[in-house]
Amino acid sequence: MEILKIDGSHGESGGQILRSAVTLSSITGRPIQIENIRKNRKIPGLRAQHLSAVKLLAKLCNAKVEGLHIGSSTIAFHPNQLQDMSLQENVGTAGSISLILQVLIPAVALARRKLELSIIGGTDVLWSPTGDYTKHVLGEAFSRIGINFSMKIKKRGYYPKGGGIVDVLVHPSKKLNPIFLTKQNTKDAKVLCSHSGIYDVESFVDDVNNTLKKNGFSAQSQINEQPAQNQGASLVVFSQDSTSINGADELLDFKNKDIFGKKCQNSFLESNLGVDTNLSDMLVVPLSLINETSVFTVREISEHLQTNLYITSKITGCKYGVGKIDNGYEIRIQGNSDSSIQ
C-alpha cells in the first residue's frame, strides 16, 4: 500500500496530528509518513509522551517505525495487524498519560482487540486532560460510541516529577454507534478534586459548589487525597444526560492558588451545548470510522477540532460539515467504515 504523506505543521502544528494519524494508521493498516512534526512549537519535534505513545502503539501492531527518537521531525509508520497484549510502560517524565491513552484506547478497541496496560507518567499535567477527565468524561463519551475501557489511577503524577501510576483495561468494541449530542438538559453536576498535600482544598471545592448552585445546578462533590511524588491538585466538573456530555478540568497553579477552581467552573458553565470544547476533538477519530452520521454541538471550534477533522478526512475519506447555530456550532461527521473493523 502506498505511503500517505502528512504535513505535521498543518493547523495548530502540535502533537494532535501525530496522535490521530498513527491511531488511524494502525486501525486501517495504511502506512503514513508525518513530516514537520510540531514545527512551530518552542521545542519542535517528538517529546517523551509522543515517543511513548508511538512506541506502545508500534508494539501493539508490530509496526515498523522510522525516525522514532526525541526531537525527530519526521517519522514513517508502517503498521501490521493489532494484537491482544499486556504491557507495562514508564514514560520517564511527567509526560501526559491521558494523551497517550487518546492514541491507544480507540486504536485497540476499534480493531476489536484487548489491552491491559500499566503505565507510569503524568496523570495531571499542563496542556492535557487530567486523569479524572479522561476517566469520567471521555470514558462516558467513548462508551456511547461503543469504546469501553476501565481506568484505575493508583498514584497521582503531577509536574515536575510525574511518577503517577495508572492501570487501564481496553475492551474490544462489539458494535459502533453514531452519537447525537446536541443539547444540555441536565442541571446535575459532579465535582471531583484530587490532591496531594494541599491542606485547604475543601474551601476551593466549596466555592465551586456554591457557584454552580447559583447558576441552577445541583452539585455533588468528592475530594480524594492520593499519594504523589510532589504536591499538586486537580479539579474536574462534569455533567451528562442523554443528549449532552460536558466537562471542564483545572490544575492547581501555586502562583495563583487563590483562584483555584474559577477557570474550571467558568469553563463548565460556558459549555452548555452538546459537548465541551476539549471533548469535541477527541470524538472525531472514532466517528470518522462509523458509516452513519453523527451530530454534536459545541460552543467554539478549537484548533484541535479543526486539525482532527482535517486529518481524519485525509486518511479515512470521511465527510464532515460545520454549521453556525445560536451560541455555537453544529458538527456533522459522515464516517467511512474501514473493512478492517467490520
Among 50, 136, 195, 304, which one carries the catalytic annotation? 304
Work out the number of other CB atoms within 10 angstroms of the CB of residue 302: 16
Give the residues across from 323 on adjacent strands: 330
Q: Which residues contact 104 (CB under 8 A, 6 or more apart)?
A: 53, 56, 57, 60, 115, 117, 168, 170
| Pairing label, strands 180-181, 293-298 | parallel
Sheet holding 75-78, edge to edge: 4-7, 32-35, 75-78, 64-66
304 is an active site residue:
yes
Sequence-distant (≥ 6) Cβ neighbours of residue 82 within 8 angstroms = 26, 27, 60, 61, 107, 108, 111, 113
Cβ pair 110, 146 in contact under 8 A: no
Q: Which residues have a Cβ under 8 Å from the Cβ of 3 and sit 6 or more positions away? A: 31, 32, 33, 76, 78
Ordered DSSP codes for 100-155:
HHHHHHHHHHHTT--EEEEEEEBSB-TTS--HHHIIIIIHHHHHHHT--EEEEEEE
49 phi, psi to nearest 5 deg:
-70, -35
3-state secondary structure of 88: strand
User: Do 189 and 219 contact (CB within 8 A), yes or no?
Assistant: yes
Q: Among all residues, which ones are annotated catalytic?
A: 304
